[in-house]
Amino acid sequence: MPTFLHAFTTIIPVTYMALFQVVNPIGSGIMFLSLTPQASNAFRRKLAFKVALNATTVLLITLLAGIYVLRLFGITIPIVQIFGGMLIIAMAWRSINNDDHTSAEGDKKNILDSSLASEASYMDQAFYPLTFPFVVGPGTIAVTLTISAESITHSPGNDILQYMGAGVSILLIAATIYLCFTSAPYMMNKLSVQVRRVVMKLLAFILLCIGGQIVFNGFSSWLHLMQETGLFK
């Protein structure tokens, strides 16, 4: 496979798996159902599309511009990789050892003070709090920033393709959010708690490995930068 295709295809599953674990569309979809008890299924589909669209916008902006905003503060890409990877490892480790796997970013029930009251208020709160911070929280933004840094340094010369691959992953995660939110009633009836728990533990372990790889890449980039500056020979 040509190098440019390899760069494009390898970033897609990595980004998707990392975002899937922190967004947790399955658990979020179930909670979305409980937060919209007075909404019809047709209105839930409309609201889910709006939330997925908002999430796509926030994640794409973070992916494309976030790392450059950090540069304004003098934060280098290897530092983002190292500490972003550590954050991913911490979230994955917490998820592995947490008995409650309905959320990958902690108890999302604490994010919202109470369930939304009626259909009239649902759409007004499609961005806040249903998109941010309920679906796209600080952990999701941190992961996206780390993926952005990884796209720049992992394969020099293929940055555009790396960003395109990450963008495809964001579109896929948005589609997953929509599907999980609209199929939440069906999942509640068909997917047992034990099955959800096993799936989330497996995804958490994969995320743990992804975080470790990103930290390793960050240290490698940092050592290479030190060698270029003459501090390490």
- The pLDDT value given to residue 94: 81
What is the band of 117 on the pLDDT scale with cuts at 50, 70, 90? low
Residues 6+ apart with CB under 8 A from 98: none
Which pLDDT tens digit goes with each residue over 42-93? 999 999 999 999 999 999 999 998 878 877 888 877 887 788 788 878 877 8
C-alpha to C-alpha distance for 46 and 89, rounded to whole angstroms: 35
230 Rama sector, left if φ>0, alpha if ψ -120 to 50, beta otherwise: left
Sign of CA dihedral 187, 190, 193, 198: negative
61 vs 95 pLDDT, higher one? 61
Q: Give Cα 136 to chain centroid, integer Å.
A: 7
**Mean pLDDT, the chain, as a whole number?**
79
